[in-house]
Amino acid sequence: MNEDVASAGWFADVDQMEAEAAAARIRTGEAETPEAWPVLAVESGAVPDEQAYYDTLRAATLRAARDTVTERERADDRQLIHAVRSMDDCDRVANELAERLTEWAGSLDDEAGSGVEYAREIAGSDDHEPRLVSLAERIVGLTDEAEELRTFIERRAPDVAPNLAALAGPVLAARLISLAGDLESLAKKPSGTVQVLGAEDALFAHLRGHGTSPKHGVIFTHEYVRATEPDERGSAARALAGKLSIAARIDYYSGEYNAELEAELDRRIERIRTRGESE
Amino acid sequence: MNEDVASAGWFADVDQMEAEAAAARIRTGEAETPEAWPVLAVESGAVPDEQAYYDTLRAATLRAARDTVTERERADDRQLIHAVRSMDDCDRVANELAERLTEWAGSLDDEAGSGVEYAREIAGSDDHEPRLVSLAERIVGLTDEAEELRTFIERRAPDVAPNLAALAGPVLAARLISLAGDLESLAKKPSGTVQVLGAEDALFAHLRGHGTSPKHGVIFTHEYVRATEPDERGSAARALAGKLSIAARIDYYSGEYNAELEAELDRRIERIRTRGESE
Amino acid sequence: MPESVTRREFDGEERLATRGQPVYGEPTDGDWRLWDARRSKLGAMFELEMETGLEDDDHVLYLGAASGTTVSHVADFAGPTYAVEFATRPARDLLDVAESRKRLFPLVKDARMPERYAHVVESELDAIVQDVATSGQARVALENRRFLAHDGRLVAAFKARSEDVTADPNDVFEGVLATLENGYEILETARMEPFHDDHLAVVATPK
Amino acid sequence: MPESVTRREFDGEERLATRGQPVYGEPTDGDWRLWDARRSKLGAMFELEMETGLEDDDHVLYLGAASGTTVSHVADFAGPTYAVEFATRPARDLLDVAESRKRLFPLVKDARMPERYAHVVESELDAIVQDVATSGQARVALENRRFLAHDGRLVAAFKARSEDVTADPNDVFEGVLATLENGYEILETARMEPFHDDHLAVVATPK
Can you give the pLDDT at residue B214? 80
- Judge whether residue A150 has pLDDT over 60: yes
Interval A66-117: pLDDT, tens: 989 888 876 788 899 999 999 999 999 999 999 999 999 988 877 888 999 9
| pLDDT over 80 (residue A267) | yes
For residue A11, the distance in angstroms to the closest alpha carbon of chain D comes to 8
At B277, is the pLDDT very low, low, confident or very high (cuts 50, 70, 90)?
Answer: low
Interface of A with B in 106-145 (CB under 8 A): 107-108, 131, 134-135, 138, 141-142, 145
Q: How is the beta sheet containing C32-34 ordered, strand by strand?
A: C6-10, C13-19, C32-34, C28-29
Cα C169 off chain centre by: 20
Helix/strand/coil percent split, chain D, to 5: 30, 30, 40
Instruction: Give the gap in angstroms from C-alpha C102 to the nearest C-alpha of chain B.
Output: 7
Q: Flag if D98 and A62 touch (Cβ within 8 Å).
A: yes
What residues contact A102, with CB distance under 8 A and at least 6 apart? Answer: A112, A113, A114, A115, A118
User: Coil, strand or helix: which one is B208?
Assistant: coil
CB of C106 within 8 Å of a chain B CB? The answer is: yes
Domain B161-279 classification at class level: mainly alpha
A-chain CB neighbours of B86 within 8 Å are 97, 100-101, 104, 131, 135
Residue B15 is given by DSSP the state -
Pick from A72, A99, A129, A145 the residue to mutate for testing the B interface (most B CBs within 10 Å): A145
- Min CA distance, A63 vs chain D (Å)? 9
Task: Please compute, for residue B237, the number of CA atoms within 13 A of its CA located in the half-sphere on the CB side.
Answer: 22
Chains B–C, number of C-beta pairs less than 8 Å apart: 85
pLDDT at position C182, please?
Answer: 95
Tens digit of pLDDT for each residue in B52-110?
Answer: 999 999 999 999 999 898 778 767 888 999 999 999 999 999 999 999 999 999 888 77
To test the contact with chain A by mutation, choose from D60, D116, D119 the residue with the greatest count of A C-beta atoms within 10 A, namely D119
Per the CB < 8 Å rule, is B58 touching C88?
no
Q: Where are the domains of chain A?
A: 18-73, 76-160, 161-279
Annotated binding site of D for S-adenosyl-L-methionine: 69-70, 85-86, 110-111, 131-134
Output the pLDDT for position D28.
92
Name chain C contacts of B33, Cβ cutoff 8 Å: 118, 123, 146
Average pLDDT over residues B134-155: 96
- B171-175 mean pLDDT: 96
Give the number of residues written for chain A: 279
d(CA A8, CA A36): 11
Shortest Cα–Cα distance, A47 to chain D (Å) = 15
Domain ranges of chain C: 36-206
Nearest CA to CA, how far is B88 from chain A (Å)? 10
Strands D81-84 and D148-159 turn out to be: unpaired
Tally A–B CB contacts below 8 A.
76
Compute how many other C-beta atoms are within 10 angstroms of the C-beta atom of residue B193.
Answer: 17
Q: Give per-residue pLDDT as tens, A41-75.
A: 999 888 899 999 999 999 999 999 998 988 887 67
**Confidence check: pLDDT of A1 > 50:** no
Residues C53-77, mean pLDDT to the nearest whole number: 96
Residues in B touching C108 (Cβ below 8 Å): 64-65, 68-69
The answer to whether the CB atoms of C116 and B30 lie below 8 A apart is yes
Question: How far is residue A252 from each of residues A245, B223, C138, D44, measured CA to CA in Å?
Answer: 11, 57, 74, 39
Question: What is the predicted pLDDT for the residue at A244?
Answer: 96
pLDDT, chain B, mean: 88
- Band (C181; pLDDT cuts 50, 70, 90): very high
Q: Is C80 on the interface with B (CB under 8 A)?
A: yes
The closest CB to that of C95, out of B33, B57, B62, belongs to B62
Q: What percent of chain B has pLDDT over 90?
A: 58
What pLDDT was estimated at residue B139?
A: 97
pLDDT band at A279 (very low <50, low <70, confident <90, very high): very low
SS (H, E, C) C63-113: ECCCCCHHHHHHHHHCCCEEEECCCHHHHHHHHHHHHCCCCEEEECCCCCC
Q: Is the CB of residue D119 less than 8 Å away from at least one CB of chain A?
A: yes
pLDDT in tens, B12-68: 877 655 778 899 999 999 999 999 999 999 998 888 999 999 999 999 999 999 989
Tens digits of per-residue pLDDT, D143-153?
999 999 999 99
In the prediction, which pLDDT does A7 show?
79
Chains in contact with B, where contact means 3 or more Cβ–Cβ distances below 8 Å, are A, C
> What whole-number distance in Å separates Cα of residue B176 and Cα of residue B153?
13
- Ligand-binding annotation for C133, yes or no, is yes
Residue A212 is classified by DSSP as: P
Please report the pLDDT score of residue C148 as a whole number: 97
Percent of chain C whose pLDDT exceeds 90: 83
Specify whether the CB–CB gap between C154 and C202 falls below 8 A: yes
Q: Please tell me the distance in Å from A165's CA to the nearest CA on chain D.
A: 15
The answer to whether the Cβ–Cβ distance between B36 and C124 falls below 8 Å is: yes
What number is the ipTM of this complex? 0.50
List, for residues C131-174, the tens digit of each pLDDT value.
997 778 999 999 999 999 999 999 999 999 888 878 899 999 99
Report yes or no: D121 and D107 within 8 Å, Cβ to Cβ.
yes
Query: Coil, strand or helix: which one is D164?
Result: coil
How many Å apart are CA D75 and CA D5, to the nearest integer? 11
pLDDT bin (cut points 50, 70, 90) of residue B268 is: very high
pLDDT at residue B3 is higher than 80:
no
- Is the model's pLDDT at A126 over the cut of 80? no
Q: What is the DSSP letter of D103?
A: S
Interface mutation target, options A82, A128, A142, chain B, most CBs of B under 10 Å: A82
**Per-block mean pLDDT, blocks of 10 residues, chain D (207 long):** 92 92 91 94 96 96 95 97 88 92 96 95 97 89 97 96 84 94 96 94 96
pLDDT > 70: percent of chain A: 95
Which residue type is seen at B276?
G
State the binding site of D.
Answer: 69-70, 85-86, 110-111, 131-134
Closest CA to C144 of C51, C61, C66: C61
The one-letter code for the residue type at A203 is L
Asked if B96 reaches chain A (Cβ–Cβ under 8 Å), the answer is yes
Residue C27: C-alpha distances to residues B180, C4, C8, C11, C42 (Å): 43, 17, 12, 10, 18
Q: Does C192 touch chain B (CB under 8 A)?
A: no
| Phi and psi at residue A3, to the nearest 5° | -65, -40
Q: What is the pLDDT of residue C27?
A: 92
Sequence-distant (≥ 6) Cβ neighbours of residue B275 within 8 angstroms = B232
Superfamily in which the C36-206 domain is placed by CATH: Vaccinia Virus protein VP39 (3.40.50.150)
Which residues, 6 or more positions from B277, have their beta carbon under 8 angstroms from its beta carbon? none
Q: Looking at the complex, does the CB of residue D185 fall below 8 Å from at least one CB of chain A?
A: no
The CB-side HSE value for D94 (13 A sphere, CA atoms) comes to: 35
At residue B210, the pLDDT reads: 78
